[in-house]
Structures are given as structure tokens and as C-alpha cells.
With several copies, the nearest count.
Chain A
């Protein structure tokens, strides 16, 4: 494994940074959610920002030339992701477009579907949302209940989806629906959000201007050409799609930045010489460094087309550990900052509470490692 960046990669990173300096408004960090959490304003901003990025050849550079890219490798996708994450993800929801929705369409869509959807993604003009989670189904996709009933050459969709980030503003939904009773009889449908019978309700989320959306499908009628791949192929498509995401969001950049802010605060208060502060902060920094090293390893393996393993899960666990430790550190040593004292720290805390504590994410990752990585059979 080589961790040095090539000159071409450094140049590419610098081009991205230059574009960010040029394209982000002066009030970007104040006006828009600094950590990309699906506020309406940020989604709208992406409609302006992404086309400009595309014009500069930086939105989908890792895509094949046929679809507007430069055929760059996974490192280029990753460098883009790092820089965007550090900048507060001005691509908004469109990071999904370029990371996995586009590539999945390239693999499974008909020529007509590709012509219809890929240019909008490559130009940065379409907002997609992901219709996976359902009330009561937890994160077990196989348990979903939204139904797509085949009636002649159409599907009739009934059901609802939750935690659908960006749904309030999305143009299209990448929807998973059940087309049979079997555990895996699941099909992907590409549904325009403007279709009759689709409605969205929103609850305020934990983050500033963030929303927890629920999407209802009531007798929604779509033509058969809205289907991606074959009927019943949904499971395979989603597995493939998620594999594009396996490096996950590079959490370490923001984590290290936030730790630095907290330490600056403690220094200013004259508390940085407290051995407990030092010991805890030191270990958190170490954990983020380990997460960074692991993430690079995962990208490297992807670039080399190595067979899939659990390193991505290991990277996530390591990053999650670091995030949880950092949050406990913030609560214990800088409580003022979390209550209006520092907007960036507070926002970071809000965003990461779900990541660190809820939803069984942690257990799921560990169980995946135990099963696939360690080959421990279940009894």
C-alpha cells in the first residue's frame, strides 16, 4: 500500500479546491448547514452548484467518457468526496447521484433509461432520493412492505417510506418495492416524485433545518419502463449499488477538525494542560488517524479491483468509535459549546448522535465482520 499522492492527484485536488473557493458564496458556512444535512436551502443550492462543477469537469470525472466523465479511478471519486465533505458537502443530495445512482444505472438500465436519466445527473440538474427504509422494517430491506402490483403494462404502488432525506425537493425516487410474497421478491422502480399519488410529510429533524421525511404512495401508477433491471432483481441491484458506497463518508476529516475546535476552546480557557483532557484527546486523534488509514486501504483495494472483504466495515467501526469518543469528550469538557456556544460543534454533535448511538449500526457492522470477515458461522 502506498499512501503518497501522485502529482496528478495533487493537481486534481487543487483544482477542486480552486473551484470551491470560486463557487461557494461568502456566507456559505453561516447560511447553509455546514455539515450537509439535507436542509432545503442546501438542496436548492446544489442545483446551482453542481452544474457549475460539471462545467469545470469536476462533477463526474471518475465516470466513463461516454457519460460525461474522464474515466478517472476510484481515488478521484474519493478525493472529490474528501474535499466536498471538508467543504460541507455543497453537492447536497447529488453526492448520491454521482457515487452510486449513476453507476448503478450504467450497469442495470436500458439504453432508453440511460439516455433519460444520466445526462441530468452528469449535468448536476436532477435531485434523487432513496426510497429504501420503511416504518417498522428497521434496516432489514427484505422486510419491506411497499407493494408494486403488476397490472398489464403498469405497476400500481402502495405503501410508505421513511427517513427519505431530500424527498421534499427531489425530482426522482430510486424506489424499492415488493413484487411478490417471497423474501427477496423485490424490484427497483424509478419513480418521478411528481407522479399522482406521491406525497411527502416532514417532521423537524435533530439538525438545523433538517427534516425527517415520510413518503406515501397511494395507488401510484407507473409504466413498466420505470422498472430498473428485471422484476425481482431489486436485491441484487441494491447490493451492487451499496458496494459503490462501501468506503462510506470520510468521517475523519470533520472529526479531526471538530476535535481541533474543541481543543482550541480548551486552550483558550487554560484547560489544555489537564492530563485527562490530554489523554482523551490524544486517543481520539489516534482513532481518527486509524480510520483514515483504513479508509485509504479500502479505496486502494477498490482501485486494484481486489475481492470484497470486511475492511470497509472495519473502517466504519473505527470511525464510529472515534466519533462516539469525540462526542463524549465534547459533552464532558465543552458543554457550553453544545448549547449555543459554538454552532459548528453543536451541529456536529446533533448530526452524529444518530450515527453513533441509534439504529443498531454498530452491531450490524460487527455482525457482518463476525460472519464474513471471521467466517464465524451462526449456530
Chain B
């Protein structure tokens, strides 16, 4: 395993553009997208873009242990996060390999690896939060097509995507978790409107998508009609903790930045590191970060051994999201007045870019992306504590 780690490091030394952070600091959306494509191609040519794909589909077919090594090294090298391709590289293949037809696989998987096809996900809906099962977007069968009407929200990078992994209701009479189907939807057609959600950070990482009599050929159904909920499970568990591993390793590295900034002068005299309150706050954040890393390492270890992981992914998501918020808040606090300036953003730099105002405002988008903490806490209560699923009347939106 050391050998693989060494080869990843060597490859990164040779291929990671040394000045990428300089180039992406305050870069335009177009420059960001261009660089994401460039980095995608570099990783692909190096054999690292699809480490988890089977070899027959052009992937590296790496063991999960080696995938862990790869993501650790990408984080430690401070490589850009390949945010634009996340759905394309994880959710789409996981779904198609488990439930798709061979035709669907052949049509899409090579196109993704070529870099031509970018995918997004159409799961969340307004006012339903993360309670996916209560979705209201309708898909009605008419002959050999489905007609889709409705609206999705919080779809990452949908404005750059060609295809959408869509969950829509095909049987409104069935119970909430039944009657949902899973589709491949071509976004480049009439009736599809994408509206970027302008975030407080100024960026627009998420989109709303509106469907007005949009057509889907029946061959684009994944799995059986009304079996979409089952199919979606494959999607949601596809990355098996690698994202959170990458994120915690990035935070561990960013922690050193935070410590360095603790040398700043406080407004009340002296440096933050000489202030007992701030010293302890730093140590506390560190302790939580290390606890998180231990949990992640523990979970990945179980995945490697093929054991089931129960509530751990949810525990880790709640832990991470609360820590990310407190971490960036501490950075903002120690940044003083200067941190109020909206400095240029490091595009593709992740959640702790050291531009603390941006990072703090951006931290909440993780909560949305990762499923709200309310929902996660419920999963924990059910799986880890054996608490009954709560009564519908009191169900919080997630």
C-alpha cells in the first residue's frame, strides 16, 4: 500500500499545477469550469479519475483501501476538489451498474469518462427538505414516454449538466415510499428551466430546475417503474465515506492555517494564542476534529472488511457539519475586522479556503448537500439507539 501511496504522490508532484490556487483565486465561473475540466482530464489520463470503476468500464478498479489512500493524498496535496463531476463519477455509475440496462451503461459510462457528459441530481424539492420520499414532481406515462412536471431544488452544478438523475412520482395513490420512479432525464430540451441559486457567498453552486411537460423516453427508466426508492439507495451509498474522508483530511490541513492565524493580535491586546479562552477553543476544535477522524477511519475500516456500517455515516455527517460551522466561525472570529472584507474566493478549494467570511457563509451548503442534521439525527436515533421511527405528526422536515 505504501507503493501505491508513493506513486500517487509522485504523480501529484508531476501533474498538479503548482500555481492552481493562484490561478483560481477570484477566478470567474467560466475559468473555474474550464479548470475543473482540465483537472478531470489530467486525473483521467493518470488513471485516477475513476479509481472505483470496474476496469471493463475504463476505471482503475482499485481496492477500497487504495481509494482511501488516493483521497488522502489528494487532500494532503491540496488538490482542487472535482466538484463538477461528483454526480457523474459516483452516483451515475453506481446507479447504472446496479440497476441500469446494458444499453444505458454503454451509452453513458464511456461518455462520462471522455469528459463530454456531466450529470446532476434531481432529488430534493422545495418545502420537502431532505425528506425525499414526500416528493411531488410527477412523471405520467403516455405511450412510450413519460411527461414530467414539477420542480427540483439544491441540484449541484445543474447549470453545467447534460443529464439529470431524476426521482419522480409515477403513482400518486401509492404510499409515500412506493410509487416513485428513477429516470435519466436529458436537460437539453424544451420545458426544462434551470435557475441558479445565488448564494450569500456570491457563488451559485446550486440550481433550481423546473419541468414543464418535459418528455422522457421509456427506455430512460432505471429499474422497474415505481421502484425508484430502492434504486436511489444505491445512489446515496455510492461513495461509501470517501467524500467525508477527503473533507476531514482537508480540514486537518486547514487546522494548521487556523493555528498560524492564532498568532494575530486580538483587538483587546495580546495574541489569540496567549488568550486562555481562545487557546482552549482551538484545542477543543482540534479534539473534535481528531474524534471525527477516528470515527471516519473506523467506518472506512469496516467498509474495507465488508462489515455493515449502521448509523455511522449519519453520525459522521452531523459531527462534520457542526464542526465545519464552528471551525470557520473561529477563523472568522480570529480574522478580526479584516475578515469582513469579501476577499476573492478560491474556486474549487473546498470548505476551508482561509477566506473565512466566505467559508463561514458557505459552510451551511454542506448541511444541505449532506442531508439536514435533523434527518441525520433521526437516522442515528433509529439505527444506533433502536429508537422507534417517530410518529408522522411530529416528523421534522429534514
Contact = CB atoms under 8 A, between A and B. Distances in A.
Direct A–B contact in complex, judged by CB atoms less than 8 Å apart: yes
Interface residues on B, range: 35 or more
Given A294-B294, A366-B279, A286 B315 contact: yes
Interface residues on A, range: 35 or more
Given A359-B267, A359-B337, A363-B277, A291 B291 contact: yes
A313 B290 CA distance: 11
Contacts of B357: 206, 353, 358
B361 to A, nearest CB: 7
A259 B307 CA distance: 25
A269 interface: yes
Contacts of B301: 1-4
Contacts of A263: 385-387
Contacts of B22: none
Nearest to B302: A3
A360 B268 contact: yes
A311 interface: yes
Contacts of A203: 341-342
Given A285-B385, A314-B291, A350-B200, A336 B126 contact: yes
B273 A278 contact: no
Contacts of A197: none
Interface stretch (B10-18, B95-103, B218-226, B389-397): B389-397
A140 B290 contact: no
B239 interface: no
Nearest to B256: A374
A364 B291 contact: no
B8 interface: no
A359 B380 contact: no
A335 B200 contact: no
Given A1-B297, A282-B385, A379-B273, A138 B198 contact: no
B372 A376 contact: no
Given A360-B333, A379-B274, A273 B282 contact: no
B94 interface: no
A379 B270 contact: yes
A346 interface: yes
A275 B396 contact: yes
Interface in A232-288: 259-260, 263, 267, 269, 271-279, 281-283, 285-287
Contact of A274 (B269, B282, B397): B397
SS of B interface (majority):
helix
Contacts of A314: 286-287, 290-291
Contacts of B368: 335
A45 interface: no
Nearest to A139: B267
Interface in B266-320: 266-271, 273-274, 276-277, 279-280, 282-284, 286-288, 290-292, 294-295, 297-298, 301-302, 305, 311-312, 315, 318-319
Contacts of A140: 267-269
Contacts of B341: 203, 212
Given A2-B301, A273-B388, A367-B279, A359 B340 contact: yes
Contacts of A339: 197-200, 206
17 contacts: A4-B305, A205-B342, A263-B386, A269-B397, A279-B378, A282-B318, A283-B377, A285-B384, A335-B364, A338-B200, A349-B200, A353-B361, A357-B329, A357-B360, A360-B268, A360-B336, A369-B287
Interface of A: 1-4, 133, 135, 138-140, 162-163, 203-206, 212, 259-260, 263, 267, 269, 271-279, 281-283, 285-287, 289-291, 293-294, 296-297, 311, 313-314, 317-318, 331-332, 335-336, 338-340, 346, 349-350, 353-354, 357-360, 363-364, 366-367, 369-370, 373-379
Given A206-B342, A279-B377, A282-B315, 18 more contacts: A138-B266, A267-B388, A272-B387, A278-B381, A278-B390, A282-B377, A285-B385, A286-B315, A294-B291, A331-B364, A332-B374, A339-B200, A367-B283, A369-B283, A370-B282, A370-B283, A374-B283, A379-B274
